[in-house]
Amino acid sequence: MKKSEYKKWQRKTCEYFEKAHIVLTEKEKENIEVADFGLGKIEKVGLQLVVYVNTERVCAKELVLFPFQTCPEHKHIEKEETFRCRFGKVYLYVEGEPTANRKCKPPEGDEKYYTVFHEIELNPGDQYTIMPNTLHWFQAGEEGAVVSEFSTKSTDETDIFSDPRIKRIPVIEDD
């Protein structure tokens, strides 16, 4: 992703934090990560986040999803994480009995990389804990979503994605 485009998505992400009444410092705004997962379709598949703290024991982040944006199916080997919806609506899909008439579908053309369909709908104030080694993916509703994540130590670079094309760490190119 070009640096100017990356900056554009960072600014858009800040608008969502404002909608959720989440105050970030200037440094935190500069450090917003825009993950397109190497697929080049950020509006459909992506995630924007800021990390407050990530130590050997705990991690706290804020996640932003634009309307209908999907974070692809993946799992964390050791990380336990709790999602708490702050703004909008997010649909979380985890292992378990598939939900009939689920609200979301995997991004068009990527369906073969999505295998878990037990739906959990999170509205502001709702939360859900995902245990280690659990496949999951999530998608925002029509307003987008802001989600607080509380977890054990985060090592995003070791996440295991169902889609082998995914590159978790963003590559930013000069304009």
**172 occurs within a structural domain:** no
Residue with tokens 């989440």: 22
**150 occurs within a structural domain:** yes
CATH number of 68's domain = 2.60.120.10
- What does R_g of the chain's alpha carbons equal in angstroms? 15
Q: Tell me if 31 sits within 8 A of 172, measured CB to CB.
A: no
Domain residues for the domain of 118 are 3-161
CA distance 41 to 64: 16
Nearest alpha carbon to residue 85 among 10, 139, 23: 139
**80 occurs within a structural domain:** yes
Residue with tokens 């280690």: 132
Q: Mean of the per-residue pLDDT values for the chain?
A: 96
**121 occurs within a structural domain:** yes
> Residue 36 burial by CB count (10 A; 0-12/13-18/19+): exposed, middle or buried?
buried
Confidence of residue 20 (pLDDT cuts 50, 70, 90): very high
Q: What is the DSSP string of 17-86?
A: HHHTT----HHHHHT-EEE-TTSS-TTTB-EEEEEEEE-SS-EEEEEEE-TT-EEEEEE-SS--EEEEEE
**137 occurs within a structural domain:** yes
**167 occurs within a structural domain:** no
**170 occurs within a structural domain:** no
Reported as a single tens digit per residue, the pLDDT across 127-138 is: 999 999 999 999
- Please count the structural domains in the chain: 1
**140 occurs within a structural domain:** yes
CA distance 149 to 70: 16
Reported as a single tens digit per residue, the pLDDT across 57-73 is: 999 999 999 999 999 99
Instruction: Provide the whole-model pTM.
Output: 0.95
